[in-house]
Amino acid sequence: RDIREAADRLRREQLRDTDVLPLFGRLSLADQQAVFRPQAPRRIVLATNVAETSLTVPRIKAVIDTGTARISRYSLRTKTQRLPIEPVSQAAANQRAGRCGRVSSGICIRLYSEEDYAQRPAYTEPEILRTNLAAIILQMLVLKLGDIAAFPFVDAPDERQINDGYRLLYELQATDEARRLTPLGRHMARLPVDPRFARILVAAEKSGCLQDALILVAALSIQDPRERPFGQEARADQKQGEFADKSSDYQTLLNLFAAYQRERRTASNNRLRQWCKNYYLNPQRMREWRELVNQLLRDSREQKLHLDTAHPAAPKSELPEGAKGRLALENPQMETLHRALLTGFLDQVGLWDEQNRDYLRPRHSRFSLFPASVLAKKPPQAVMAASIVETQRTYARTCAPIQLAELEHLAAHLTKHQYHNPHWSKKAGNVLASQTTTLYGLPIVAGRNVPYARHDPALAHEIFIHDALVPGELNTRLRVIAQNRALIETLEEREHKTRSRGILADESQQAAFYMERLPENVHSVITLEQWAKKHGEAALAMKEADLLLSDETIDEADYPTSLTINGQKLRLEYHFDPGGAADGITVNIPLPALNALDARAFERLVPAMLPAKIEA
């Protein structure tokens, strides 16, 4: 953007006999070639650090050095590839100065002081100190080269980088928790691609979509062949939109490759280049993409990987020559391919935050969809990204929607679970708890009721006994539970009649009865019935002796259950609730008979209460 703004400003000056030429990596091929075809007597080339060593630009007499460059750095904290603007090293500054002395003596003007130059490091930090070490560690494990921390590197990485490399390998299941190579990791190491991509290819082979995965891995391994020349962005978007699939950036890439392959099979080299030009595609990068796909195919065959005979996610129809409009293609297997891709991008996922209009990702950071993504206009609830790059903002590139259930399954070795509010569910016949599952701090499951015994069987056992067995709040085929409850209710009624709490064992003592007899693995209706089938229901049968706290007995005749007045039988209820509205004996009187009864008939109490009334 800075280069384009500077170019616009210089062009507005209308400098005589002067060409203003931008030069950077993502520039279209035609614009890059213009730098090497001098026309006007004077040229002003506005370049990134690509002109330091990668290219030799002819007829350069003077260099103006800003002293800065975008340096690719891997962030250990956010696990993203950053492109911050940093001061260049003395070696890079000297290299820039050398650009103006290729033909004859030249001039270099540095836009920073000599003191600033003297304080800069002598050399640019080696790439091994600015990248993730997973690929290096994986190869060292396969070759048995020993501990990477003890390896005699010229520039040894620090412990944090090493730990981060192992973290990624464990995430990809290439190593176990003890940092030992797994069979999957050994398989991945045989594939000549980045460990993330190797994990994808292994998963794709298993899912039957390896050829499509090879096309996508090759695409992600090179620079994007799609170009958007300055001033022609809208036209480029329109033409390339013919390949777009609104459901996935990956499907868009497959559509593009299928169209290119069809054209290549029937067109001459000149016609193919013209086709690429019409669709604003870089011919060299498209060829590089195809050659890399072929190389990966050969490598896969050498490794005896099973190549599917069809492309399950690729277009079922060809893009006709000169076709316009969006391709509307059915991709019944695209979810399978997305699932394979997700195995390599488990930490490069995000959940849509409606309030902030961006995505929350693992490790409490955020990103936005890259504006060129087909998902940008209608963001899905959850996405995965092939890369997350931090420039002025943090953008996710090459994205697709994902199902959180799939993420939870594939990332099971990485997730952490928290359980809240364990409780007995009579409907489920189990002790449940609300589960929250997080992936590096990102909540991917919230509020799901799950069996609590998986987390804490002892507490689930205790809750089952206290909240289900003791109160009889469960649906079971076992008659002994209902019989026990009936016995408890009979003894509770005796307490009400005698107005004493010292007869029946309390709930904790009733629970102890079950705790003594049932093992810890009984925590649901199913496990209870399984235990009873093996040991018999009789082992759980309560007797009065198990529940009574005293040997005192009562004469039931002293506590009648009904009272007959004027030939009408009225039901009696006993309640021991001092201070409560229902405390005492309650007579149930039908409403029509209420006025026919004499209140004096109720002054005579039940036999058991007469002694207390006489004493009073």
CA–CA separation, 529 and 533 (whole Å) = 6
pLDDT value at position 466?
96
Torsional sign, CA 150, 153, 155, 160: negative
Collect the ranges in the chain with pLDDT lower than 70: 1, 25-26, 28-29, 51-55, 76-83, 102-103, 308-332, 551-555, 603-605, 608, 612-616
374 neighbors 246 (Cβ within 8 angstroms): yes
Helix (H) or strand (E) holding 20: strand 18-23
Nearest to 249 by CA among 155, 386, 138: 386
**Tokens read off for 249:** 């950036």
Residue 139 in 3-state DSSP?
helix
Nearest to 206 by CA among 334, 384, 336: 336
| Residue 132 burial (10 A CB sphere; 0-12, 13-18, 19+) | buried
Written as one letter, the residue type at 420 is H
User: For residue range 109-126, what is the model confidence (pLDDT) as tens digits?
Assistant: 999 999 999 999 998 888
Give me the phi and psi of 421, to 5 degrees please.
Answer: 55, 60
Give alpha helix (H) positions in 303-344.
334-342
At residue 124, the pLDDT reads 87
Tokens of 83: 């492109």
Read off the amino acid at residue 377: K
pTM above threshold 0.85: no
- Reading the block at residue 140, the tokens are 């060292």
Q: What is the CA radius of gyration of the chain?
A: 39
For residue 86, the cross-strand partners are 69
3-class secondary-structure state, position 351: strand
pLDDT at 340: 96
| Run of H or E residues at 45 | strand 42-47
Please state the length of the chain. Answer: 616
Q: Does residue 117 contact residue 97 with C-beta atoms inside 8 Å?
A: no
Q: What is the largest CA-CA distance in the chain?
A: 133
The whole-angstrom distance between residue 430's C-alpha and the CA centroid of its chain comes to: 29
pLDDT in tens, 257-300: 999 999 999 889 899 999 999 999 999 899 999 999 998 998 88
